[in-house]
Structure 1
Amino acid sequence: MIRLQRLILFALLNAISAYCNLTPDLEEYSKTSSQSLLWAPYRANCYFGLTPRYVHKEPFVLGAMWFNSINAQGLANVRHFVEQGDKLDKYGWVWYDPRIGGKETITDSENNLQLNFTFVKSHSGENWAVQVEGDVIDRSKKAAESIVIYMKQNGKEDSSCFLEQDLNHARTHNTLSFKGFSNELKGYTVSFANENSEFYKSSIPPLTHDTNPSIPSIFSMNVPDDQLWKAKDIFQSILKDSVQAHIEKNPKLSAESIPSALTIRNIHNFPPGNVQYIQQTFSGHFKFEIIFNKDRSKDQIEEHSIDHLIGLAETMVQQKFDRKFNIPGTSKFKEFAQETFSNLLGGLSYFHGTHLVDRETSFDDENFEKVELKNSKEEGPFELFSMVPSRAFFPRGFYWDEGFHLLQLLDYDSDLAFEVLHSWFDLIDSDGWIPREVILGDEARSKVPVEFRVQNPNIANPPTLLLAFSEMLSRAKTIQEEMLESHMHGNVHHEEPKSSFEGNILSSHPELLLSYAQDIYPKLLKHFEWFRNSQKGMLEEYLEVPSINSGAHEGEAYRWIGRTVTHCLPSGMDDYPRAIIPDSAELHVDALTWVGVMTRSMKQIASVLDLEEDLKRFTEIEQNIVENLVTLHWDDEQKLFCDITFNDDATDDEDLREFVCHEGYLSLLPFAVKLIPHDDVDRLQHILNSMSNEETLLTPFGLRSLSKQDEFYDTAEVYWRGPIWLNLNYLCLDALQYYFSDSPLKSEEAQHAELFKQASKLYRQLRQNIITNTYSVWKKDGYVYEQYNHKNGNGSGVQHFTGWTALVVNMIGRLPEDL
């Protein structure tokens, strides 16, 4: 009957959409969405770097560098890739949307420079402009601020691709102009225009005719496509050679001549090539624009229109943010929230290239030393469209981080979330594996320590991507049913406009998402089976334990492959304490929990697709996992979910299982991902007690990762042994809402009055503590962090962690203030 109703629903909606001629197909949707996402600063590892998405054979690439050339030390302080060691006062996006544009501000006291990059696009999305504006911070100090823009049109030497200066244009216009062509982008023009900039002017003549810092300097050479990421190294090398040549002619260079000496020139007489360096040096305020226009485009960007485009883009981004997040303009959190969320989006990157995989090295069940992956081979090329946890420290794709990124993005731009998810799912290989870290190409690899570059198909990671996908499908199903209900009653909802800029096309055409789910389902099924098979634990070791023998479901017990004596990197909670002596028979509660999440997600997909046999199977597996969480991992003495290990010294069968209990995120996880049944009131009570206890987990800044009473609290690396992480805190807040707001328990609220009172108090307190502390640290330091100190609330770990810490925005603008 349910299946028949759903088929009728689909038929009615399709008929309505066809009648109204409103339904695009998936290919048409993809084309529309891709156009608005074609260009953006997708090289998030650069302070500012542009490249088109999914144009990978012959892409145009742009990057920016800067340094203060007033003295010889300036060359050592060239900024290019985002580096924590640069110790900038601040950098990041103050408003940004990849479909529309944004403004990035940079404060660099060491180079005495305040710098802004503002990016906008034409309505079609095929043309763009960047406004570069800056000034010296301290005008009492002499400055020669060199801004270097480099551009390259990729393409093989024998191809028709080129990028060259248009000298005819330069003679007749007060701008620099370059012509380019690629088979993917076709013909285009890139122009540079200055607006009353204070170019550096020296009181003495330049050292040579081609090193005059008062005018733009252009240097061209050929650089192989796969070497462009070394643009800074190339620039510094050429400049050092040039400086050395100056010194050989004039060993006693005056201080006044240093800006001239640090102006790039063609010292080696290279023929013009496919890379163009444009260096401009300023002594005060400057403002110039870079404009990219495709030949014969209908909406080319005119130089005089850029300020207007910027104003329009800022308004559009602001209005979109206000519609998606309920944060009053009078709120002190408004600026913090928009900037933090903009920096999450600012980490959106497009990667293309090969990755390193070791498929030969296996893991010995009895060996818990770190395994060296020495048999790597390049595979690919592949492509990935993904956000990154941190532009400075982690500019690559992380499997379990991305699920949290998507949970944030769903409320703002569900179409973009789908594009990212689609890209990740395309990486599922023939065995069903997705790497836990996706590091594509030399540029991405250059930012990764050698020991982490190689991936192995035995290693898993928490499957948060399926958590996000099932949430997408759940919303699509709800929307579809609401649309049917509305049309059946003759009601028409006048909601926000559906457009590619809003990122809500799929929400008005949920059938497209459901169609994709049907296409991707076989790959997801393979991924599901890979995860279960590769991480399966040895439950048979415990079958002599009476309580396990009588109640456990044999197929559902798991452990993380790749765990070592000191770390369990695959779990995501790297140094969280596990059994002191590792054992091949140990079973990890979080591994089982995440398989439960994965199963629930697959059940949701099977339900939407009317796959009755699969739905029945997933329902059974999920129920078995829920029961095994209690049968295997619940310790009745400590009232916690715990890992277990095999006790060789047991004197009776019941003691063969040894609980490894460490109160913290691990013990809370089954609750946080909503795997505890609503009617399991006793365990819900114990978990509430755990989260509410200031002597164990609760702090004025959020929930500690590990109890203050644990023997390993605040020891060793102190990574997941005390510090506060916002991703798990967010899940706990969301779970509190799930269990105590819209819950079957609500009908029995009087019976459980104290429980609901405790949950409501904890929710309000925890939400407020996290928001207030994260905001206070941002107000003081200008950044959000990877984690927060469990004793004083200060930011710790990676600075400017633009990934899941941005979940604080959802806490402010999406989660209710009270249950």
Structure 2
Amino acid sequence: MTGGNKKLHVIGASETKKNRPKVLKSSDHSTHSHNQGVSTLNISRKQHNGSLYTGVGVIAISVVSWFVYQGYLETRVNSPLTEDKVAFPSSHDFPERYWGSFRPGVYFGMKSRDTHSLLAGLMWFMPDVAAAGNLNLRHLCDQGDNLEQYGWKEHDGRNFGVQVIIDKFIQLETSFVTKLGGNHGGDWTARIQVEPRMKELKGQQVTLYFYLTLDDNGKGLLQPIRMIDNMDTSGMDASESVKFLGLSAVHGHTEKLGDFRVSFHHANQQSIVHTAFLSTTVGSPHLVKDALQSGLRLMEDKRSKERHISLAGALFAKEDNLKQPNFVVHQVTGKLPLQLEIVYESNSFAERGILLRGEVYDALLQKYREQFRIQFENKFRLNEKGFSEEEQDFAKSAMSNLVGGIGYFYGSSKVQSVHNKEPVPYWNAPLYTAVPSRSFFPRGFLWDEGFHNLIISQWDREISFDIMAHWFDLMNVEGWIPREQILGSEARARVPDEFVVQRNNQGNPPTFFLVLDAMFKNRPVRDISTLELEQLNRMWPRLVSWYNWFNTSLHGSEPGTYYWRGRDTASARELNPKSLSSGLDDYPRASHPTTYERHLDLRCWITLAAKVMASIADIIGREGRKYHETFVFLSNNELLNAQHWSEKAKRYADYGLHSSNVTLRRPKSIAGQPKPDKIRWVSEEPTPRFVDDTFGYVSLFPLIVEILQPDSPQLGQLLQDLRNPNLLWTKYGLRSLSKTSPLYNKRNTEHDPPYWRGPIWINVNYLVARALHHYSVVEGPHQTRALLLYNELRENLITNVLREYRKTGYIWEQYNDANGAGQGCRPFTGWSTLILPLMSETYV
């Protein structure tokens, strides 16, 4: 019997006489008993039915409410934040950046900043090489093509770009110039110049294909304008012979561009051997190469009797006969050297004057190139610092590849939360962003983009603000931004399915706070433009939501602690479960993931975020006290040391359930069965402790975010350990994990090579060098040592990256810590381009 029932029983036993029921007379008893029984029964039935109906109603309401609430939770992951958008509403607000090389995944392409743009692109091959049966048709940037080098030599992000592509037998220079005018983004001209790489190849043939198509779901008209070709049409009826005509132009129309004309011009008609065209339909832009190859035929020239690989003219399936073409290709086969100019003209540009080609093109291109060189020196002062002309050209190319790698994408991500059984589509949105690598990662990555804009903001602050605005407009109602953006069919086609879905408990480091800190640090408000203040005000509500997401979604079990979500707690094949959301992937964490882990790098990112939020609040007159208080709390060195300093190992570290004795072992094979994968073997029980057997990039984060006091003994210890060659120091830069760490250069599975377990990464080296520079100019007992380390580390990094560039023609994703060799993917002109501000020493 419960305490409640006991209480009721006692009360019942102590009823007074006054409260007892009236005693009935015997003569009344029978009738009254019967009537009272019926009455009581009816009342009981009514009460029972009422209670039943009420209970059912409550249950029904509860069930409905539960389903409604679940539905609400399911929709939060793909519901946009209701704050005003940060990006200005129309690309036409920045007409000089309306057209550009916004297709970083192809060797050369042009695109407008429209949701369903006209796309232009280039493919090429050498017929003599193709005779072996493989065309080797170049189109998408692909490491498998093994080009000796390709990339932009000069690109200002607005008006022009010049790129050199070194193929096996030929060298291509692709350039473009834009010209403002009219109501639809103005005109542009592209020039493709092809030269033989060896004298004996002069006169050999090369085939260029320049195509036009429409982006995903784009609607418009592309009308080919034909010219007479020398193809043998004998034996064909008139309808067939009309297929084998080249193009002089394409007339087109889209809703955003209005009417336009694209014309093709050959500098030396005598070098032209053959022209042809293809006009057909294609389901999606990522299928254009397949569509082109399906339209190739082997044809014989009427006069020379030479056979050519030629496009087949108008080519439609029976069911597509009534469709308008959305894919038009101009083919030119000519003798080396060969030049093709493509002129795009907007019909609304009524007073353009002379056609933008030939000498007119030369003059405008030369004007823009000279302006670029002057601006580059004014921004980075490399000539003033004594760098050679060759080294300055390298730096210009590095920066140009980053800016020239800016793309404009449109589409939706696939996302999922714990409340969704299956992935759901994010909303359709545009993204204007640089990419880490045109060959391997031609799409947007959140934490990479912060590093990119440390450079872009020095070159063109307006471009950086525009990039950040587009990223912040991808924020959902929770304040979360998907960390990888795979927008549109071209991007989606190059990503394995396992990496497509983005999960809302995982968010990359908030590196845009690095950019905002660098842009406004030590800048008086009077020196900040009205436009920048407007953009900061537009950005503020989303910065607040983003900061809140990090501070609340990733908090730890104690005040001031944080941990990255997404680690696999049941991983059997991983030596150390990855922390992909941290950006450091396989960097060793506590061996056994738990909810009470403390991740040092995340704590430092949030410390930086709080500092920058307080600073921006001061600039634009918002309330920033709570951010300042959070920064003071998190940057308190005593609290930091209590939660992350291992006195035993004398280093900063993560904390969690950890064992140092973890290996991969292969289980015994069963006869007749495939060899099993290696699995994780723990030979020492994990205990709650500092992960202090590991010394690497994470250990340096209190230094990186510059929160250590100048007289801190921990700072002195870090600087001492930094120069130890058995730990992180090499003559090529700082390795990501010390040689003494148990997982140094160890595979995370038998199939996954080490990634952040030894190789040298330029982005973190840059952050360390920048911090050393800071401590070298702040008075304190470690000032001299910081200066010596800074100078030596900077020199090592610059020397090695330049050496590998001269040797291989590329800037690389990472560098080998044993010999400095470039490795990973190439070209990696994303955060590895931070070698430029190291050269220029422009850190704010």
Residue equivalent to 1:210: none
Residue equivalent to 2:69: none
Residue equivalent to 1:121: 178
Q: Which moved more, 1:286-295 or 1:175-184?
A: 175-184
Match of 2:761 among 719, 725, 731: 725
Q: Which moved more, 1:120-129 or 1:40-49?
A: 120-129
Q: In 2 relative to 1, CA 757–814 (structure 1 residues): closer, same or farther, beyond 3 Å?
A: closer
Residue equivalent to 2:434: 387
Matched, 1:87 2:146: yes
Partners of 2:594 and 2:656 within 8 A in 1: yes
Matched, 1:704 2:735: yes
Q: How does 1:608-619 map to 2 (within 5 A)?
A: 608-612=619-623, 615-619=624-628
Matched, 1:144 2:171: no
Match of 1:404 among 451, 454, 460: 451
Q: What amino acid maps onto 1:147 in structure 2? A: L
Sequence identity percentage = 31
Matched, 1:51 2:111: yes
- Aligned equivalents of 1:756, 1:522: Cα separation in 2: 39
- Aligned equivalents of 1:74, 1:321: Cα separation in 2: 46
Q: How does 1:640-655 map to 2 (within 5 A)?
A: 640-646=651-657
Partners of 1:404 and 1:464 within 8 A in 2: yes
- Aligned equivalents of 1:429, 1:731: Cα separation in 2: 30
Tell me the alpha carbon deviations over residues 117-158 of structure 1, each in whole angstroms, 9 at most, x when there is no partner: 11111145621100111023345458431110110246979x
Matched, 1:695 2:731: no
Matched, 1:229 2:260: no
Q: What amino acid maps onto 1:727 in structure 2? A: N
Matched, 1:437 2:484: yes
Q: In 2 relative to 1, CA 676–299 (structure 1 residues): closer, same or farther, beyond 3 Å?
A: farther
Q: Which runs of 4+ in 1 moved over 6 A?
A: 26-32
Q: In 2 relative to 1, CA 316–259 (structure 1 residues): closer, same or farther, beyond 3 Å?
A: farther
Q: In 2 relative to 1, CA 31–378 (structure 1 residues): closer, same or farther, beyond 3 Å?
A: closer
Residue equivalent to 1:803: 830
Partners of 1:151 and 1:277 within 8 A in 2: yes
Q: How does 1:747-762 map to 2 (within 5 A)?
A: 752=781, 755-762=782-789
- Aligned equivalents of 1:331, 1:231: Cα separation in 2: 40
Q: What amino acid maps onto 1:260 in structure 2? A: H
Tell me the alpha carbon deviations over residues 32-63 of structure 1, each in whole angstroms, 9 at most, x when there is no partner: 7611111111000000111111x114x21101
- Aligned equivalents of 2:279, 2:440: Cα separation in 1: 31
Q: What amino acid maps onto 2:579 in structure 1? A: C
Q: What amino acid maps onto 1:191 in structure 2? A: S
Q: What amino acid maps onto 2:293 in structure 1? A: Q
Q: What amino acid maps onto 1:190 in structure 2? A: V
Matched, 1:414 2:461: yes
- Aligned equivalents of 2:314, 2:96: Cα separation in 1: 39
Residue equivalent to 2:347: 295
Q: In 2 relative to 1, CA 102–456 (structure 1 residues): closer, same or farther, beyond 3 Å?
A: same
- 1:638 partner SS: coil
Residue equivalent to 2:712: 681
- 1:299 partner SS: coil
Q: Which moved more, 1:293-302 or 1:706-715?
A: 293-302
Partners of 2:173 and 2:194 within 8 A in 1: yes
- 2:566 partner SS: coil
Q: CA deviation at 1:600?
A: 1.5
- 1:455 partner SS: strand
Q: CA deviation at 1:674?
A: 1.4
Q: In 2 relative to 1, CA 526–789 (structure 1 residues): closer, same or farther, beyond 3 Å?
A: same
- Aligned equivalents of 2:126, 2:419: Cα separation in 1: 49
Partners of 1:600 and 1:619 within 8 A in 2: yes
Q: CA deviation at 1:471?
A: 3.0
Residue equivalent to 1:512: 531
Matched, 1:318 2:360: no
Match of 2:160 among 79, 86, 101: 101
- 2:426 partner SS: strand
- 2:103 partner SS: coil
Q: In 2 relative to 1, CA 91–695 (structure 1 residues): closer, same or farther, beyond 3 Å?
A: same
Residue equivalent to 2:644: 633
- Aligned equivalents of 1:780, 1:648: Cα separation in 2: 42
Q: CA deviation at 1:637?
A: 2.2
Q: What amino acid maps onto 2:369 in structure 1? A: E
Matched, 1:624 2:633: yes
Tell me the alpha carbon deviations over residues 570-605 of structure 1, each in whole angstroms, 9 at most, x when there is no partner: 111111111223333222111111111221121112
Q: In 2 relative to 1, CA 232–155 (structure 1 residues): closer, same or farther, beyond 3 Å?
A: closer
- 1:637 partner SS: coil
Q: CA deviation at 1:426?
A: 0.9
Tell me the alpha carbon deviations over residues 431-489 of structure 1, each in whole angstroms, 9 at most, x when there is no partner: 100011011111111111211111011111111012212333446x42x33x5xxxxxx
- Aligned equivalents of 1:44, 1:299: Cα separation in 2: 29
Q: What amino acid maps onto 1:637 in structure 2? A: K
Q: CA deviation at 1:66?
A: 0.7
Q: CA deviation at 1:714?
A: 1.9
Partners of 1:105 and 1:117 within 8 A in 2: yes
Q: CA deviation at 1:302?
A: 3.1
Structure 2 unmatched ranges of 5 or more: 1-85, 230-245, 569-575, 661-686, 748-752
- Aligned equivalents of 2:399, 2:269: Cα separation in 1: 32
Q: How does 1:503-652 map to 2 (within 5 A)?
A: 510-539=529-558, 554=559, 556-564=560-568, 565-612=576-623, 615-627=624-636, 628-646=639-657
Partners of 1:326 and 1:814 within 8 A in 2: no
- 1:757 partner SS: helix
Match of 2:406 among 343, 348, 352: 348
- Aligned equivalents of 2:633, 2:372: Cα separation in 1: 46
Q: CA deviation at 1:234?
A: 0.9
Q: What amino acid maps onto 1:292 in structure 2? A: Y
Q: CA deviation at 1:283?
A: 2.5
Q: What amino acid maps onto 2:287 in structure 1? A: K
Q: CA deviation at 1:656?
A: 5.2
- Aligned equivalents of 2:755, 2:521: Cα separation in 1: 34
- 2:509 partner SS: coil
Partners of 1:101 and 1:119 within 8 A in 2: yes
Match of 1:664 among 696, 699, 704: 696
- 2:635 partner SS: helix
- 1:808 partner SS: helix
Partners of 2:590 and 2:658 within 8 A in 1: no
Q: What amino acid maps onto 2:211 in structure 1? A: Y
- Aligned equivalents of 2:226, 2:388: Cα separation in 1: 52
- 2:332 partner SS: strand
Q: What amino acid maps onto 1:408 in structure 2? A: I
Matched, 1:133 2:160: no
Q: What amino acid maps onto 2:327 in structure 1? A: V
Matched, 1:179 2:236: no
- Aligned equivalents of 1:648, 1:696: Cα separation in 2: 20
Q: How does 1:484-503 map to 2 (within 5 A)?
A: none
Q: In 2 relative to 1, CA 198–317 (structure 1 residues): closer, same or farther, beyond 3 Å?
A: farther
Partners of 2:278 and 2:315 within 8 A in 1: no
Greater C-alpha Rg: 2
Q: CA deviation at 1:611?
A: 2.7
Partners of 2:380 and 2:842 within 8 A in 1: no
Q: CA deviation at 1:353?
A: 0.8
- Aligned equivalents of 1:658, 1:619: Cα separation in 2: 29
Residue equivalent to 2:264: 192
- 1:119 partner SS: strand
Measured on the aligned residues, the alpha-carbon RMSD in Å equals 2.9
Structure 1 unmatched ranges of 5 or more: 1-25, 201-213, 363-373, 484-506, 540-553, 650-654
- Aligned equivalents of 1:634, 1:422: Cα separation in 2: 38
Q: In 2 relative to 1, CA 515–474 (structure 1 residues): closer, same or farther, beyond 3 Å?
A: farther
Q: CA deviation at 1:262?
A: 4.4
Q: CA deviation at 1:783?
A: 0.5
- Aligned equivalents of 1:787, 1:292: Cα separation in 2: 39
Q: CA deviation at 1:703?
A: 0.9
Q: Which moved more, 1:755-764 or 1:725-734?
A: 755-764
Q: What amino acid maps onto 2:733 in structure 1? A: G
- 1:42 partner SS: coil
Partners of 1:93 and 1:346 within 8 A in 2: yes
Q: How does 1:10-21 map to 2 (within 5 A)?
A: none
